[in-house]
């Protein structure tokens, strides 16, 4: 009976493993190839942002602060018609109450498009010879409608026009002159209608008849209205990404993600053995599911979005590490392997849920409040968190129990818990706090120095915070420091008048960033032409980003609000889950510490503070609190068990028991981000470098500060809290 039972267990185990592997392979196939011959639903069908495909993005702001919905709709329609001949994938959408964004992917001559979009469309009434008889600005309204023939019951779709006083007189003269003849209506050089004049019209209104459908009538009415649209648009932001730079960004990011995934898988197998194999299968499924979900939800994948997915690989490992550490603890207590697997998942559940929900809070706040340019990162991060929880709690468990059933039952396959000497972390809390205070103090000192002398502000605020134009140029050869700081800067000043020029070489390549005041389309075109004439730089090697002062101010305020709101929501969540505000307060203090340390690095190195800074800070906040919650969960577990330990010893034991998890989670996440930094393009490196520092800092604060701060608050406010 025992042998038969073992055979049954083995059969079930093989069935589980084969099914999961087949499903994973199927997901991978669909992720790569899509669900049909067109590739729909797969990686090839994912909409790519301009930073990955190249192209133009321009945001207009209406001069009128409160435009009507009809005016905005007409303007969007007008711009959509104007950009469709550039690209069938061109997109025009409304942002907020008075902004319109135009995205045109995959185009080459970006500056020509920007100049053309900046010119208003024209509507004219002409004769057959093309002579302009009247301009569209005399039309006050144009509405689609229909009439019904009382005799036949047939529907006649029409457009009703109303003219101003000047137009009323002009139109009366025209209808008298062209009675029983055509008057052509032309928009932007294209004939849109040629109605016949049946009567002399003197009342200031007329009806265009015999239109085949209401949709055609509505489109004609819209076209006539937008020919004299009252809204005046000004450029608020413009981005131009060279096609070559976009393709390079996608290629290097995917390679970095693949290498990071492989390194993490090898590390997990090397450290955790059989559980590591289970996590490897789960990680592969994680990547495939994330790709399918991004395609399924029709999200636009951007460079920050890829960073979110790759960062998610490192964070997805966290749940597995927590589970495997728990399994080893159970095995060390001489429990059976099967019992240890079940108990390990049960004990790890609360920490996994709490940690991922707090990180999800950050992602949701970013989606709702943060500037639009980093919403792609937040969306990808949110999907990554949801998928990683499923793969860790379901897929890893199914594969791991299957491997056990087919014969991997010896505890040696699961690794042994190392009973190392406990580190006196709590006893040395003063030392850690002094070190942290000193680092933050250095940051404050550098901010004061920066404000007084170096850059005129505490931090090196980027375009998103102060406005201006940033042009990133990929030169064909490496330029010397003198060429960059003197020759190139002087040449830019010759082309662009009345501007301060800052030039900065990007490490690890031939890229140089040129920062000036906000340039218009013609000035950007002149700058590109100079770079081509003097340095042989093609237009697809140039990326520019322009932001007006009003937009940068709004983005700065939105960023600050996103950080504040995310922090408050996490404080409330931890307070509710742990039923002790001291846990929440301790976590927030650690988060503030992590933010200030990263800000210190920005102050010392004078890194540009922009959208990547906000995304970096909020990612660190979510990541750091995830690690802190694992330690708090262990402290809560020991308190609830009534072990009778002294509070100092209890906290120190909790930190040491989770120390291995903290190290491995930080290491796996660090590896994936390091791959981004080594292989990524300039914008990716600007995000990855401070994020690596934040990962190390978050691990440090969680281990060395969080428990000790909670301990101090517990002792100081014990009466008030209880």
How does pLDDT run across 166-176, given as a tens digit for each residue?
899 999 999 99
Tokens matching residue 400: 């791991």
Residues 575-617 pLDDT 10s: 888 888 899 899 889 989 999 999 999 999 888 887 778 778 8
Q: Are residues 315 and 261 in the same domain?
A: yes
Which of 505, 525, 547 represents a domain boundary (last residue)? 547
Q: Which residues of 346-363 are buried (b: 16+ CB within 10 A; e: fewer)?
A: ebbbebbbbbbbbbbbbb
Residues 320-347 pLDDT 10s: 998 998 999 899 888 999 999 999 999 9
Q: Are residues 254 and 399 in the same domain?
A: yes
Q: Are residues 578 and 687 in the same domain?
A: yes
Number of structural domains found in the chain: 4
Q: Is residue 584 part of a domain?
A: yes
Residues 615-658 pLDDT 10s: 788 778 777 787 888 899 899 888 888 766 789 999 999 999 88
Per-residue model confidence (pLDDT) at position 5: 45
* Residue 199: C-alpha distances to residues 204, 475, 511 (Å): 13, 66, 67
Dihedral of alpha carbons 535, 540, 541, 546, sign: positive
pTM assigned to the model: 0.74
- Smallest CA-to-CA distance from 518 within 464, 470, 469, 472 is with 469
Distant-in-sequence, close-in-space partners of 23: CB < 8 Å, separation ≥ 6: 285
Q: Are residues 293 and 436 in the same domain?
A: no
For 482, other C-beta atoms within 10 Å of its C-beta total 9
Distant-in-sequence, close-in-space partners of 126: CB < 8 Å, separation ≥ 6: 132, 133, 183, 184, 186
Residues 479-490 pLDDT 10s: 888 888 889 988
**438 burial via Cβ count (<10 Å: 0-12, 13-18, 19+):** exposed
Rounded to the nearest angstrom, the gap between the alpha carbon of residue 142 and the centroid of all alpha carbons in its chain is 41
- Smallest CA-to-CA distance from 391 within 295, 307, 312, 326 is with 312
E strands in 398-510: 460-461, 468-474, 502-505
Per-residue model confidence (pLDDT) at position 586: 93
Q: Is residue 184 part of a domain?
A: yes
Q: Are residues 556 and 692 in the same domain?
A: yes
Q: Are residues 697 and 566 in the same domain?
A: yes
Q: Could you tell me if 602 and 617 are in contact, meaning their C-beta atoms sit under 8 angstroms apart?
A: no
DSSP state of 182: B
- pLDDT higher than threshold 80 for residue 378: yes
- Smallest CA-to-CA distance from 272 within 408, 400, 415, 407 is with 415
| Strands of the 184-187 sheet, one edge to the other | 132-135, 123-126, 184-187, 190-193
* Terminal C-alpha separation, the chain: 57
Q: Are residues 477 and 590 in the same domain?
A: no
E strands in 154-198: 155-163, 184-187, 190-193
Per-residue model confidence (pLDDT) at position 50: 75
Q: Is residue 433 part of a domain?
A: yes
Residues 108-157 pLDDT 10s: 666 666 666 655 567 889 999 889 999 887 888 888 999 888 888 888 99
Per-residue pLDDT, averaged over 64-85, amounts to 79
Domain at 646, CATH number: 1.20.1640.10
Per-residue model confidence (pLDDT) at position 86: 73
Tokens matching residue 509: 């390549």
Res. 721 pLDDT band, cuts 50 70 90: very low
Q: Is residue 520 part of a domain?
A: yes
Q: Could you tell me if 102 and 60 are in contact, meaning their C-beta atoms sit under 8 angstroms apart?
A: yes
Q: Domain of residue 669: give its range.
A: 429-442+551-721
Per-residue model confidence (pLDDT) at position 630: 87
Distant-in-sequence, close-in-space partners of 73: CB < 8 Å, separation ≥ 6: 222
Q: Are residues 540 and 555 in the same domain?
A: no
Q: Are residues 562 and 531 in the same domain?
A: no
Res. 1 pLDDT band, cuts 50 70 90: very low
Least confident of 221-230, 361-370, 582-591, 668-677: 221-230
Q: Are residues 505 and 643 in the same domain?
A: no
Q: Is residue 71 part of a domain?
A: no
Q: Are residues 532 and 568 in the same domain?
A: no
Dihedral of alpha carbons 644, 649, 650, 653, sign: negative
Q: Are residues 616 and 576 in the same domain?
A: yes
Q: Could you tell me if 235 and 546 are in contact, meaning their C-beta atoms sit under 8 angstroms apart?
A: yes
Domain at 485, CATH number: 3.30.70.3400
Res. 455 pLDDT band, cuts 50 70 90: low
Q: Could you tell me if 104 and 55 are in contact, meaning their C-beta atoms sit under 8 angstroms apart?
A: yes
Q: Is residue 234 part of a domain?
A: no
Distant-in-sequence, close-in-space partners of 422: CB < 8 Å, separation ≥ 6: 652, 653, 656
Res. 722 pLDDT band, cuts 50 70 90: very low
Instruction: Give the three-state DSSP class for 141.
Output: strand
DSSP 273-335: SHHHHHHHHHHHHHHHHHHHHHHHTTPEE-HHHHHHHHHHHHHHHHHHHHHHHHHHHHHHTT-
Residues 8-38 pLDDT 10s: 889 999 999 999 999 999 999 999 888 888 7
Q: Is residue 422 part of a domain?
A: no
Q: Could you tell me if 363 and 378 are in contact, meaning their C-beta atoms sit under 8 angstroms apart?
A: yes
- pLDDT higher than threshold 70 for residue 271: yes
CA dihedral 636, 639, 641, 646 (to 10 degrees): 140
Q: Looking at 393-501, list the stretches that DSSP marks H as alpha helix, in order from N- to C-terminal side.
A: 396-405, 429-449, 463-466, 481-482, 489-495
């Amino acid at each position: 009976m025992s042998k038969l039972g073992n055979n049954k267990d083995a059969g079930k185990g093989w069935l589980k493993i084969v099914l999961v592997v087949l499903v994973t392979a199927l997901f991978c196939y669909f992720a790569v190839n899509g669900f049909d011959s067109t590739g729909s639903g797969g990686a090839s069908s994912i909409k790519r942002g301009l930073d990955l495909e190249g192209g133009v993005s321009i945001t207009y702001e209406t001069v009128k602060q409160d435009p009507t919905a009809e005016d905005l709709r007409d303007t969007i329609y007008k711009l959509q018609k104007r950009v469709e001949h550039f690209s069938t994938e061109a997109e025009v959408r409304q942002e907020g109450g008075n902004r319109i964004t135009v995205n045109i992917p995959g185009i080459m001559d970006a500056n020509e498009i920007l100049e053309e979009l900046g010119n208003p469309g024209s509507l004219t009434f002409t004769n057959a010879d093309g002579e302009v008889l009247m301009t569209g600005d005399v039309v006050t309204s144009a509405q689609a409608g229909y009439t019904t023939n009382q005799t036949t019951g047939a529907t006649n779709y029409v457009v009703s026009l109303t003219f101003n006083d000047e137009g009323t007189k002009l139109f009366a003269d025209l209808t008298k002159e062209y009675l029983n003849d055509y008057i052509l209506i032309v928009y932007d050089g294209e004939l849109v209608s040629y109605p016949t004049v049946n009567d002399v019209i003197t009342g200031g209104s007329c009806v265009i008849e015999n239109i085949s459908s209401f949709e055609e009538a509505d489109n004609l009415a819209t076209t006539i209205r937008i020919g004299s649209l009252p809204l005046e648009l000004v450029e608020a932001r413009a981005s131009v990404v060279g096609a070559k730079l976009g393709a390079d960004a996608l290629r290097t990011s995917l390679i970095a993600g693949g290498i990071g995934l492989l390194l993490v898988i090898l590390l997990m197998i090397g450290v955790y053995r059989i559980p590591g194999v289970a996590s490897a299968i789960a990680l592969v499924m994680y990547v495939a599911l994330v790709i399918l979900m991004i395609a399924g939800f029709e999200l636009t994948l951007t460079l920050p979005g890829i960073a979110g997915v790759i960062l998610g690989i490192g964070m997805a490992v966290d749940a597995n590490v927590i589970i495997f550490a728990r399994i080893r603890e159970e095995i060390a207590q001489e429990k059976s392997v099967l019992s240890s697997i079940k108990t390990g998942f049960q004990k790890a559940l609360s920490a996994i849920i709490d940690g991922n929900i707090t990180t999800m809070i950050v992602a949701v706040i970013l989606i709702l409040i943060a500037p639009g340019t980093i919403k792609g990162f937040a969306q990808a991060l949110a999907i990554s968190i949801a998928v990683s929880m499923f793969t860790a709690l379901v897929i890893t468990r199914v594969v791991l129990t299957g491997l056990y059933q087919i014969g991997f039952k010896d505890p040696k396959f699961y690794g042994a818990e190392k009973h190392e000497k406990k580190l006196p972390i709590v006893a040395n809390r003063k030392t850690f706090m002094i070190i942290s205070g000193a680092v933050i103090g250095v940051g404050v000192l550098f901010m004061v120095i920066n404000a007084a002398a170096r850059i005129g502000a505490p931090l090196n605020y980027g375009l998103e915070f102060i406005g201006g134009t940033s042009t990133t140029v990929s030169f064909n050869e490496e330029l010397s420091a003198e060429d960059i700081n003197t020759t190139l800067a002087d040449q830019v000043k010759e082309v662009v008048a009345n501007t301060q020029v800052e030039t900065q070489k990007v490490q690890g390549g031939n890229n140089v960033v040129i920062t000036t005041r906000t340039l218009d389309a013609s000035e950007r075109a002149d700058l590109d032409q100079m770079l081509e004439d003097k340095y042989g730089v093609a237009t697809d090697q140039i990326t520019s980003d322009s932001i007006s002062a009003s937009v940068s101010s709004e983005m700065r305020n939105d960023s600050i609000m996103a950080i504040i709101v995310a922090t408050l929501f996490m404080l409330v969540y931890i307070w509710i889950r742990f039923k002790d505000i001291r846990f929440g307060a301790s976590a927030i203090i650690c988060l503030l510490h992590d933010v200030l340390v990263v800000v210190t690095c920005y102050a010392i190195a004078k890194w540009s503070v922009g959208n990547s800074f906000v995304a970096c800070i909020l990612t660190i906040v979510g990541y750091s609190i995830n690690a802190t919650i694992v330690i708090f969960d262990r402290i809560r577990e020991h308190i609830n068990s009534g072990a009778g330990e002294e509070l100092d010893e209890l906290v120190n034991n909790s930190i040491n028991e989770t120390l291995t998890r903290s190290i491995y989670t930080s290491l796996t996440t660090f590896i994936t981000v390091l791959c981004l930094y080594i292989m990524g393009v300039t914008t990716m490196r600007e995000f990855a470098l401070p994020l690596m520092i934040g990962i190390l800092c978050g691990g440090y604060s969680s281990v060395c500060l969080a428990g000790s701060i909670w301990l101090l608050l517990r002792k100081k406010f014990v009466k008030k809290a209880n």
